[in-house]
Amino acid sequence: RLMNRLTQYLILIPALMLTILSAGCSHSDTFTITGKITDFADRPVKLVIYNSDSIKTLSAQASLGRFTFKGSSADYSVAVLSSMSSGPSVRFLVRNGDKITLEGPSLDSLTIKGSKPNEQIADFMASNSGLFDGLYSSSSSMLPISEAATNKAIADYVDKEGPTPASAFLIAVYYSPAGNPTRAAALINRFDTNEETRSLLASISDAVKNELNTVRSARVHSFNLPAAGDSTVKFAPSAQSYSILAFTSSDSRRKDMTSRLRELSGSYPRKSLRVIELSLCGDSATWKSVTKRDTLVNWSRILLPGGAAALQVRHLNIGQAPYYILADSTGRQIYRGPTLDIAVDSLERRIK
């Protein structure tokens, strides 16, 4: 998901073009990144710069872990440093005039100097290391361990530090607006008068606007779709007081999630709640293999034709899995987001 967000820097809000440094550039038109990372040894390394309208990849050859990058970015951009081969990466801010030094035995144990915003980001990550996969870098998933806890930590940081470049970086890279787009919009709006962070927040600003529009206007519709066991699921929001739609994939998280769906579906009469799992897997053979292992099934299971782009749900703007929607009998969305516990809490407040 993070890589999708960074890729979205390509669209909508124009920013100054990022170009590779030529020999004749002056200091104010360039940045320099110098590193000594033991694990890099003599391997090639790459630096990917994400701007709101461009992506540039720079390469360098490490020698005994030492390397140097020179480039140009007129405004703050997100930089992602990694080995040319697969492995962890580290993300930081960069713009013209910066002289940044990265040192450490590996990307998982790294010190960054020469840039106040990056030092502030590193301090935040160190103070909240339990929320992330790695201290300052991450695995290829690039996902925080707990989206809700990470969002709160970032919001608290913005409340304390204000609309700084470090705050904007944390929102752009790590904040998930899906669970509470209204809160996300309020955070982003605090940066309205901060020109130097505008391009950093361009992509997530658009994501938040789309999410808010979906919450306000999109209704859960009735549908008839093929289901597991060669049956058909006929669904109408009006047939019960509330519905939970659980959008899933076929990865290892599904097993834990389905145990929760089983418990939830068995806790309420059908006229009060219906639980439906809609798989975004995309491959029918894989889906059938996975669902065959389900036991004590008391919830409906559907493979969406076309995944999130299926005609029946495309208007709901589902961008990830797992993802949950709690809807009332009119199809109005009460909750939408990645956290089932929040959906259940909202349901219990209404049914009790």
What span, in angstroms and rounded, lies between the C-alpha atoms of 237 and 240? 6
Q: What percent of the chain has pLDDT over 90?
A: 37
Q: Which of 53, 127, 125, 118 is nearest to 92 (CA)?
A: 118
Q: Which residue has the higher pLDDT, 50 or 3?
A: 50
Instruction: Say yes or no to pLDDT of 352 above 80.
Output: no
CB atoms inside a 10 Å sphere around CB 338: 19
Q: How far is 343 from 96, CA to CA, in rounded Å?
A: 45
Structure tokens given for 350: 């209404």
pLDDT at 94: 94
Confidence of residue 319 (pLDDT cuts 50, 70, 90): confident
pLDDT of residue 179: 64
Distance in angstroms (rounded) separating the CA atoms of residues 78 and 96: 13
Mean pLDDT of 120-132: 85
Q: What's the confidence (pLDDT) of residue 249? A: 83
For residue 266, pLDDT beyond 70: yes
- For residue 13, pLDDT beyond 50: no
Please tell me the predicted confidence (pLDDT) of residue 67. Answer: 97
Lowest mean pLDDT across 30-34, 85-89, 282-286:
85-89
| Top-confidence residue, 132 or 310 | 310
The confidence score (pLDDT) of residue 176 equals 80
* 278 has pLDDT over 50: yes
Amino acid 215: pLDDT: 65
pLDDT at 69: 96
* pLDDT surpassing 80 at residue 23: no
Q: Is the pLDDT of residue 349 over 70?
A: yes
State the Cα–Cα distance between residues 20 and 72, nearest whole angstrom.
6
Give the tokens for residue 321: 């899995």
pLDDT confidence of residue 22 = 36
- Per the DSSP assignment, residues forming a β-bridge with 224 are 234
Q: Is the pLDDT of residue 202 over 90?
A: no
- Check whether 129 has a pLDDT greater than 60: yes
Both structure tokens of 188: 């982003």
Q: What is the mean pLDDT of residues 210-215?
A: 67
Note the pTM of the prediction, 2 decimals: 0.60
Query: Is the pLDDT confidence value at 44 over 50?
Result: yes
Q: Give the CA angle between residues 103, 108, 114 to the nearest 5°.
A: 35
**pLDDT surpasses 60 at 24:** no
- Residue 241 pLDDT > 70, yes or no? yes
**Predicted pLDDT of residue 297:** 87
Pick from 126-135, 197-206, 281-290: least confident:
126-135
Higher pLDDT, 60 or 199: 60
Per-residue pLDDT band at 14 (split at 50, 70, 90): very low
Q: Hey, is 130 helix, strand or coil?
A: helix
Question: What pLDDT, on the 0 to 100 scale, is given for residue 194?
Answer: 66
Are 102 and 110 within 8 A, CB to CB?
A: yes
Span 146-170, mean pLDDT? Answer: 89
Whether the pLDDT of residue 330 is over 90: the answer is yes
Can you give the pLDDT at residue 86?
64
**Neighbouring residues of 94: CB distance < 8 A, sequence distance ≥ 6:** 31, 33, 49, 71, 73, 76, 77, 79, 100, 115
3, 60, 156, 173, 208 from 200: Cα distances, Å: 14, 25, 19, 9, 14
Of 44-48, 181-185, 210-214, 294-298, the poorest mean pLDDT is in: 210-214
